[in-house]
Structure formats: C-alpha cells, structure tokens
Amino acid sequence: MYSKIVMDHFQNPRNVGKIKDADGIGKAGTGNCGDMIEMAIKVEDEKIKDIKFLTFGCVAAIAVSSMVTEMAKGQPVGEAKKITNDSVAETLGGLPENKLHCSNMGADALQIAIKDYEEKKTGKTREN
C-alpha cells in the first residue's frame, strides 16, 4: 500500500521536534480526520538553516512531514517556496489515492511557516 520511501520516513522520521526561537511557524490540518502538522523554521542568510515538525497524524501525514523537512532544509527560502503538495507526494514515490489529503498538509504547513517568517521580517504580526 505504501512505498518503501513512505515506510522509511514513517519509521525513522527526520527532524522531529520544536525549534526554540523559531523564525516562522506554520500549522495545517485537515478538517475531516483531525490530524495536524506544526512546522517550525529557523532562517539564516535567507536559507532554511533548521526545520522541525510535530505531527499528530497517520502514516502518510508523518512521512509527508518528514519529507518536507528534508526537501526544505538548507534551501534558500525562495526555493523552499516551490515545494508543493504534489512534489512531496511524488518524492515519496506516490501515495495511495485515499491518502492524498494527508499530503496536502505538509507543504501547506511549510508555506505558512515561510509566510510567518516573512511577515515577522517586515514587522507584520499574524494571528494563528
């Protein structure tokens, strides 16, 4: 049912946890199943220096979160902005049709974290 890559990221998730003094935080969830992802980024010289996630969710949601952190870590912010739900699912070797909604939270949480970072940088504040 799941690809080997998905199972690997589920069994050995990368970059789990929180970041103290994170520069941006993004939360995303799916209304239906109640699962949710919190993604935190630390930015230095406009690059994602560190990224961590906490996910309350299914196998796919955890694998997606882990993969997003691997794809974004070390990338310039501009490149990380190009990570989409589709590119994450593709890098994971695909997801079963009924699990595609799980992949929709991963990149969303990252993009919200980047937006949060950019808004803080420009002095705006956001309620979440």
Residue 37's DSSP bridge partners are: 28, 55
Nearer to ligand FES, 25 or 61 (CB): 61
User: Does residue 30 bind ligand FES (CB under 6 A)?
Assistant: yes
Pick the catalytic residue: 33, 86, 90, 124?
A: 33
Dig out the tokens for 1 from the structure: 């049912």
Angle (CA) 108-99-78 rounded to 5° is: 25
User: Does residue 1 bind ligand FES (CB under 6 A)?
Assistant: no
User: Does residue 89 bind ligand FES (CB under 6 A)?
Assistant: no
- Contact call for residues 66 and 106 (beta carbons, < 8 A): no
Pick the catalytic residue: 41, 102, 109, 113?
A: 102
Whole-number minimum distance, CB 89 to ligand FES, in Å?
A: 12
User: Does residue 35 bind ligand FES (CB under 6 A)?
Assistant: yes
Backbone angles phi, psi at 55, to 5 degrees: -130, 130
